[in-house]
A = this chain, B = another copy of it.
Amino acid sequence: MQMQLLKERILKDGLVEDGDILKVDSFLNHQIDIRLLEEIGKEFRHQFEGKEITKILTIEASGIAIACIAARHFNVPVVFAKKSKTLNISGEVYKTSVESFTHKSTNTIIVSKKFLLPEDKILIIDDFLANGKAVIGLSRLVEEAGATLVGAGVVIEKGFQPGGERIRSMGIDLHSLAIIDSMNPENGVIFRKE
């Protein structure tokens, strides 16, 4: 279920730019409205009510803020995957490569093996879902660790891009707090009807 307060904030302060870019840098991923994040964290807790979760997994940089505030409501630690341009990583890590829609680049993402254990029940959290590469990359790390993936929570899903469908068809329990079905600089943002 989508989150009314978030949708209103996107309509008020989000900027749609050419090239399917939605700028939410005044409240979500450059300047961060902590009060809004607090409500987002509560909403994730609500949407994954009753699920046992031992750790929240996210990816640097803008996922960290959301994951940390949400983690307070789950009372679990956060692990964030690090992005690295180099494959030459020392130590024992799980790694995979992820393309970024926003940055048009490919990163290797890594998580230390110490922090993803077979007994972990993982909730993935991220800010945006477009092609789904970040969530799918993170889910590969969870699988490699032999941990259980409980689900994924994203703040904004671009419903007109294939990530959401891909992830749902993989059987991952995906909750998006706002799903945008179309957007352009002239007409702004249209959310999915529920």
A→B interface (CB under 8 Å): 25-26, 30-35, 37-38, 60-61, 64-65, 68-69, 71-72, 75-80, 82, 111-112, 114-115
Contact = CB atoms under 8 A, between A and B. Distances in A.
B79 A32 contact: yes
A34 B72 contact: yes
Instruction: Identify which of A64, A75, A76 gathers the most chain B CB atoms within 10 Å of its CB.
Output: A64
Nearest to A72: B34
A38 B77 contact: no
A171 B154 CA distance: 42
Contact of A61 (B34, B75, B78, B82): B82
7 contacts: A32-B71, A32-B78, A34-B71, A34-B75, A34-B76, A38-B72, A60-B61
Nearest to A35: B75
Nearest to A70: B34
Copies of chain A in the complex: 2
B34 A115 contact: no
A45 to B, nearest CB: 13
Contacts of A111: 30
A31 B78 CA distance: 6
B34 A77 contact: yes
Given A32-B79, A61-B61, A82-B61, A26 B68 contact: no
A115 B78 contact: no
A78 B26 contact: no
A32 B65 contact: no
Given A26-B115, A61-B80, 8 more contacts: A30-B112, A31-B114, A31-B115, A32-B77, A32-B78, A34-B78, A35-B75, A65-B68
Contacts of A35: 75
Nearest to A110: B30
Contact of A79 (B30, B61, B80, B82): B30
